[in-house]
Structure 1
């Protein structure tokens, strides 16, 4: 009896599962398209038809395994609480990933797709919009760089220290950096409108 050829979701499931097994077995640095193809019982050309390189393949596996940061955003009833909850979730998520994986992805930064970096600003912009709707802050335009800043700082802490980000550091990012920046931008925007 001839083996049936896997296609579609069944094949993709086998490949993404193989990526996770490879990551846990050999780490990101030693993961290759060939090793994933072998573990998944397929060929490299099949992988390359779906994913252009190792980074894109690993990111697809990450998306498959992990709930997106921007999904089910916290709603504590105040901007500060929402931001702290989001940063805590991000710090916890980054801790769950092997340091080798984070360093490897960062090392291949030029190959990362830009939409990956749009998740953080969109999440923060949603939290800011909620705060505006509650009357907690005045509406003011926020650039992608500003919206990305809190999560960029959390990622920086993890990459530099190789340690979990303590709660007091998350509070500093929110209280001493991000909220004052948002207030200053709002004040500058209001002055320009006058």
Structure 2
């Protein structure tokens, strides 16, 4: 007899199954039935939590981004904090970023959503993590807080994502340094 999963354990199993389905087959072939089968559960269990596949895809993306979010470094200096975080993303998250954008292209077309809406930095905890990194830099006097608009805060990571999606490969250190040293830091100092 198999043990019944409940609560957070069940939800995690459903979201993991949904991610595996999305990763293996893309959004175009993503179905609630396939997730049910992969998770080894019944349709009512899935539909009680998410009414349709779009809601499940959104929840799945938030789940995966929360689970894969790297720790925010605290090296004592903004440049090194940014480079350490970007190095982690640039090496260990290349496949994740690539899969999310490639497999979700049809999601964007069908729903009219943009990648920005799907990868909500507040829901995934990324906004709070970056805010902590920047607040430490402001407290150390490294950057001017009035220059930290939401767009400027995310700029190094938008450029990093662009590099990953342009090459589908880990981003070299000299590119990360160029993003931080010649583009980002001059904007905030």
Q: TM-score range by the shorter chain?
A: 0.7 to 0.9
Larger RCO (CA within 8 A; separation ≥ 6): 2
C-alpha displacement of 1:40: 1.4
Counterparts of 2:166 and 2:84, CA distance in 1: 22
For residue 88 of structure 1, what is the aligned residue in structure 2?
Answer: 87
Tell whether the 8 Å contact from 2:61 to 2:119 is kept in structure 1 after alignment: no
CA RMSD of aligned residues (A): 3.0
For residue 128 of structure 1, what is the aligned residue in structure 2?
Answer: 134
Point out where structure 2 has 5 or more consecutive residues left out of the alignment.
Answer: none
C-alpha displacement of 1:55: 2.1
Give the alignment partner of residue 116 of structure 1, picking from 120, 125, 142.
120
- Aligned pairs for 1:35-74 (under 5 A) are 35-51=34-50, 52=52, 53=54, 54-63=56-65, 65-66=67-68, 68-69=69-70, 72-74=71-73
Counterparts of 2:145 and 2:63, CA distance in 1: 37
Deviations 1:94-144 (A, max 9, x none): 224273333223653516646723454543332222122123334324211
C-alpha displacement of 1:6: 4.7
| Corresponding position: 1:155 with 2:157 | no
For residue 182 of structure 1, what is the aligned residue in structure 2?
Answer: 188
Tell whether the 8 Å contact from 1:27 to 1:101 is kept in structure 2 after alignment: no
Counterparts of 1:175 and 1:58, CA distance in 2: 35
C-alpha displacement of 1:16: 2.8
Counterparts of 1:9 and 1:182, CA distance in 2: 41
Structure index of larger Rg: 1
Tell whether the 8 Å contact from 1:22 to 1:31 is kept in structure 2 after alignment: yes
Counterparts of 1:114 and 1:129, CA distance in 2: 26
